[in-house]
Structure 1
Amino acid sequence: MSARLNSAQPYVIGLFRVVAGLLFAVHGAASLFGVLGGAMGSGGGTIPSGTWPGWYAAVIQLVAGGLVLLGLGTRGAALVASGSMAYAYFDVHQQAALWPIQNGGELSVLFCWAFFLLVFTGSGAFGLDRLATRRTAAAQEPAAEKAPIAA
């Protein structure tokens, strides 16, 4: 049973990455473009361009979420996303109360830890990172292996 679960791990991580990236990117798109209900907490609409920290957080959400969704530069994008959610929790939510259930910071905490996990696991299956890795490995094969053997 354990071997079957282990063989499915890259696929489950890939699906996890897709869902987390999509949800994160949707938050950014909602805040920046007013889609899907617009900026949360403002009754819809968008966050004014350049406002700190909301607009910058939305840009990070859209870009990092999109990269994680595609599995392109997953580890770096996930690190930036995780850090932005840690900042959101400690700067915004924790001022109201200590525990996430008390201060409304559950989503920030979950996103922070989900993206932190992806920093260490990578993109899993279905990611564009894997295509880039395969191409790089193929390009680095020694020329002797590629050359035909002379008889």
Structure 2
Amino acid sequence: MSPTDAVLAPFQPRWARLVAAVLSIVVLVSLVALFVFVRPNAATRLAPDDYLLMIVFSCVLWGILWRQATVRAVPDADGLTVRNLLTTRRLEWAEVVSVRYSADRAWAQLDLAEGDEIAVMAIQKADGDRSIQEARRLAALVNRYGTAVDR
């Protein structure tokens, strides 16, 4: 791997991915346990639509957990693709003015030339010292490739 490849490596949270994986397994085991161990009796009379609702709810949870596990920011020479929990946005380096990250923030934040801000959930406080290094690496990329002028 060349030094440029290392600098342009994707930003990905570690703990969020691990937690999402563990919770996905918990949801699966819970769903299987519900179907296997809950037997109909006077207190638990579940109709087929109740089981269907539990499957749908589990699928929604898996979808949310999958999206959390795939949060990332992918830099290249032209810009940055930021995939957060709900949105994915492609930014050109010229659109990014600065990177903000501190101990009181849950994740890094980009200040954009248009006056907007965007969270970078791929750099999360939960990752500790690694998140500080990753925020510095993102700021270095903005300085290296960016041409935005602060308004």
Greater strand share, structure number: 2
Higher Cα Rg, which structure: 2
Q: Same fold (TM over 0.5)?
A: no
Give the TM-score, by structure 2 length.
Answer: 0.32
